[in-house]
Structure 1
Amino acid sequence: MPPRQRLTPDARRDQILTVAARLFAERSYDDVLMEDVATRAGISRALLYRHFPGKRELFAALYRQVAAQLLERTRLDPADTLVEQLTQGLDAHIEYFAENRNTVLAANRVLAGDRAIQTIMTDELAALRERLLGALPLMDDGSRRAVSGVLNGWLVFVQVLCVDWLTEETCTRAELRDVCIGAVLGAIRPLLDEDPAPDWPRSGMRAGTDSGTGSPEA
């Protein structure tokens, strides 16, 4: 093991999380050992456990960062139409899931019952719901409550669908995105006085064809 570089506690924690992010991206959750993290970080196991008492705690801290990064990528531009905002957000969401496949599968499958992971996911979905509510023409509190409940269910639907897609790509990314857009528009339209996306679906459009942001991705 090379000589250990002296870092502040915060800097050391960040270094460990950076190393852990690479390992959890490269391998399945079960194949990542705390000993591997310590070795890759160039520190002793004792120092690693001083910062993180176990692999679950390490992964939870890492996934908190992942959720924050995903929220940063899915910022919605109020100048865009609702469909444009949904397209941008879903494209970013799906791309991030694909780039971090092992990490996402660990959180949603291996650690699905972990309380810390569930809290992170709940907070992430709540933040996304609030952004979407801000993009919709809601006339009163009653409409807001009704649509909020629908969005809760839709966000879980998107999460489950995307995780399933990671395990078996039964459609293209564009098709996956358009299924999600169609689902939310179909769910909220009955609750709104004004159609938030009167041009969706476009004439002649089928799932997976271009919706204004480029050609389908494989």
Structure 2
Amino acid sequence: MSPQARRDDLIRAALDLFGSRAPELVTVDDIVTRAEVSRPLFYRYFSSLRDLQVEALRTVTDGLIDGLAGLEEGPPETRLRAAVRGLIDVADHYRAGYIALLRSGSVIATSETDAAIDEVRNRAVALILDALGVSEPSPLLSLTLRCWTAVVEGALLSWLQERTIPREALDTWLVDQLTAMLTTTAAHDQSGTFT
């Protein structure tokens, strides 16, 4: 196995374990047992457990950003639905890591993981603005989009843990919420930037 493949295998083992318990409860021994490697091999690739935790969570955020990158062509609503569907797919694929990333109070939260989460949020806002054809959003539009990304995060977190609504209804519901929020914002936005 190549060094990168071994590193990726350790990250996958950590993400798998996050599915059954909180990341702060996963130990190096748990990870090496799951990956079927030795402790010395673990430390060849990661300086500490925290280093692996951050890398595992970064894998999730990179996946989210990549999932946002492939917007379909077409009208804004079609593009937004595709983006939300992509987010749901990636969050579901990295379910445990996504939950660990967003769970408030996690001891894994660091300035690096906070920056990675902000990068996903900023990318989501930029893609929505692009889909809407807006290059310089008003403060109210920016606030609307940031609030909506918080709604998406909360909804995905709940959906991944509870699965109380069908998956196919989730993206429609989230995009309909954004549409309603944008309609309200347009009615209140005096800047003329967004109509």
- What TM-score comes out, normalization by structure 1 length? 0.71
Indicate the residue corresponding to 1:95 in structure 2: 89
Matched, 1:130 2:126: yes
Indicate the residue corresponding to 2:115 in structure 1: 119
Cα distance between partner residues in 1 of 2:96 and 2:34: 18
Where do residues 11-90 of structure 1 align in structure 2 (5 Å cutoff)? Answer: 12-25=6-19, 27-30=20-23, 32-77=26-71, 79-90=73-84
Cα distance between partner residues in 2 of 1:181 and 1:61: 31
Structure 1 SS opposite 2:42: helix
- Residues 64 and 91 of structure 2 are in contact (CA less than 8 Å); yes or no, is this contact kept in structure 1? no
How far does residue 171 in structure 1 lie from its aligned partner after superposition?
1.9
Q: Gapped runs of 5+ residues in structure 1?
A: 194-218
Letter in 2 for 1:131: L
Cα distance between partner residues in 1 of 2:81 and 2:49: 35
- Residues 70 and 96 of structure 1 are in contact (CA less than 8 Å); yes or no, is this contact kept in structure 2? yes
Higher helix share: 2
How far does residue 42 in structure 1 lie from its aligned partner after superposition?
4.0
Letter in 2 for 1:125: R
CA-atom RMSD in angstroms: 2.6
Matched, 1:186 2:166: no
- Residues 133 and 144 of structure 1 are in contact (CA less than 8 Å); yes or no, is this contact kept in structure 2? no
How far does residue 12 in structure 1 lie from its aligned partner after superposition?
4.1
Cα distance between partner residues in 2 of 1:101 and 1:68: 14
Q: Gapped runs of 5+ residues in structure 2?
A: none
- Residues 133 and 148 of structure 1 are in contact (CA less than 8 Å); yes or no, is this contact kept in structure 2? no
- Residues 19 and 40 of structure 1 are in contact (CA less than 8 Å); yes or no, is this contact kept in structure 2? yes
What do the CA deviations read for 1:47-88 (whole angstroms, capped 9, x no partner)?
323433433321210121121122222324362211111111
Greater than 4 Å deviation, 4+ residue runs: none
How far does residue 154 in structure 1 lie from its aligned partner after superposition?
0.8
Which structure has the larger Rg? Answer: 1
Letter in 1 for 2:78: E
How far does residue 181 in structure 1 lie from its aligned partner after superposition?
0.9
Cα distance between partner residues in 2 of 1:73 and 1:180: 16
- Residues 97 and 104 of structure 1 are in contact (CA less than 8 Å); yes or no, is this contact kept in structure 2? yes
Cα distance between partner residues in 1 of 2:71 and 2:94: 25
- What TM-score comes out, normalization by structure 2 length? 0.78
